Structures are given as structure tokens and as C-alpha cells.
Amino acid sequence: MKKSGLVEAFAQSTREAGLKWTLQRKAVAEALIQVACPASIDDIYSRAECKKNCDKATVYRTLAQFETLGLVVRCDLGDRVVRYETKSKQHHHHVICRECHKIAKIDFCVPKEMINYVEKKGFAKLSHTLEFSGVCIDCS
């Protein structure tokens, strides 16, 4: 989906939930979409339009609302920084550079055999996260 279409999807879902589509909500949505990878509150807030129209508390509240609406998900990359990204229809994982902290999406998942193994152990309603870390090409 194009970025403009994603912003409109945010607007529509927000309105359907009975909330106004404000300049602040639009700024947070656009900033998150522009980052295009899991973004911290600071990453989102630092975007020009977001910083011009919102304070940090508004960014926190707006992301919480978007999360409740199922528009964004929290990403825990193991470094105690809360990050958000737009909810994707495709399950994916990430790789993080240990030097510059750049994050890239990995568009495939663990083999089905691993999931089958865990299910055979008696677990149901499985979810998982898998993150890699390394040094990106720019830093090596």
C-alpha cells in the first residue's frame, strides 16, 4: 500500500472508532510511515511535521490509540527501547546493526518445522519473535 493510502487507512480507522482525525494524529501517522521501520517515540517526534504539531505526550497518547485500534504494533528488539511500526499483513522479523542501530526488515519467518516441534510439545496459540543483530555494510 502506498504511503498516502496508509495514512488514509489510519484516518478511516480512527474515524470509524469515533475519534476525530486531527492534525496531531495525522502528523504522528505520517511520521511513523515515513520512518518505514520500527521507530521509537523520539524517532517519530523528531520528524518536522510531528515536532511542529505535537508535544511528546501527544505522540505517546496517539500511538497508544493507534495500537488499540490495531494500526500499529510494538516491537521489542531487546534494548529496552519501545518502538512502533505499522501493522503489517505479512509476519516478519528484523536485523539490527550493533554499531549504528539501523533496523532492516526480514521478510520471511522461521521454518514451519520449528513451529510443529513446539506444538508437539503441547503448546498452542503460539507467537514468536526472532531478531538478529550484526554489523551493517555501512559500518563494516
Q: Which domains does the chain have, with CATH numbers?
A: 3-86 (1.10.10.10), 93-134 (3.30.1490.190)
Average pLDDT, the chain: 87
d(Cα 28, Cα 26) in Å, to the nearest integer?
A: 6
d(Cα 5, Cα 70) in Å, to the nearest integer?
A: 16
Q: What is the pLDDT of residues 76-92, one digit of tens each?
A: 777 788 899 888 766 77
Burial, 81: exposed, middle or buried (Cβ in 10 Å; 0-12, 13-18, 19+)? middle
pLDDT at 100: 86
Question: Where are the alpha helices (H) located in 36-111, listed in sequence order?
Answer: 41-45, 48-53, 56-68
pLDDT at 110: 73
Q: What is the pLDDT of residues 99-127, one digit of tens each?
A: 888 888 787 777 778 888 999 999 988 87
d(Cα 50, Cα 32) in Å, to the nearest integer?
A: 10
